[in-house]
């Protein structure tokens, strides 16, 4: 984990449960957050459309895709950011090429490998809406439960 942590849209518990129930097929459930900017604690580093004044606000994410690695190492959902005017922003609001939430791993594979998985392709779906709060965090997938619960 980077010493400065990262900014993320952290799922509320009901949204994490929805992902785990609907998409988790692997032994290590995660379904915790969508990373926005890694390796910083400076709110000025937030990607657009976010600003420092958005910290602590709740946003809506729409699940638009799903992928599971053939060997069962990692699975993730692709998400878009639902804007106040109703438009769905599918790219550019995170530093990741494909905005996503890592749903689960096999317990050995690093969650960050979801980036490679999704770049290789994913199934487009019309999935659920999720609620997530913009936070700065140091939560790590190497912890037993990234929510600290």
pLDDT tens figures, 19-57? 999 999 999 999 999 999 999 999 999 999 999 999 999
Predicted local confidence at residue 70, as pLDDT: 96
Q: What is the pLDDT of residue 1?
A: 62
* Mean of pLDDT values over 66-93: 97
Calpha distance 29→60 (Å, rounded): 21
- What is the Cα gyration radius of the chain? 14
Give the SS3 label for residue 61. Answer: strand
Q: Are 26 and 74 in contact (CB under 8 A)?
A: yes
Q: What is the CATH number of domain 6-137?
A: 3.90.1740.10
Residue 147 pLDDT > 50: no
Query: How is residue 83 annotated by DSSP?
Result: P
Question: Is the N-terminal amide bond of 49 cis, ω within 30° of 0?
Answer: yes
């Amino acid at each position: 984990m980077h010493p400065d942590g990262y900014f993320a849209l952290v799922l509320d518990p009901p949204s994490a449960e929805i992902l785990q129930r609907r998409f988790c097929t692997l032994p290590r459930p995660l379904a915790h957050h969508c990373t926005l900017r890694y390796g910083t604690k400076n709110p000025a580093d937030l990607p657009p459309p976010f600003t420092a004044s958005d910290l602590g606000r709740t946003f809506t994410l729409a699940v638009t895709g799903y992928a599971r690695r053939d060997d069962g190492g990692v699975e993730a959902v692709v998400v878009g950011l639902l804007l106040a005017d109703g438009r769905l922003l599918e790219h550019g609001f995170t530093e990741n090429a494909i905005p996503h939430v890592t749903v689960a791993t096999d317990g050995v594979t690093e969650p960050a490998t979801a980036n490679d998985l999704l770049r290789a392709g994913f199934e487009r779906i019309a999935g659920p809406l999720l609620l997530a709060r913009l936070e700065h965090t140091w939560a790590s997938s190497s912890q037993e439960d990234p929510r600290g619960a």
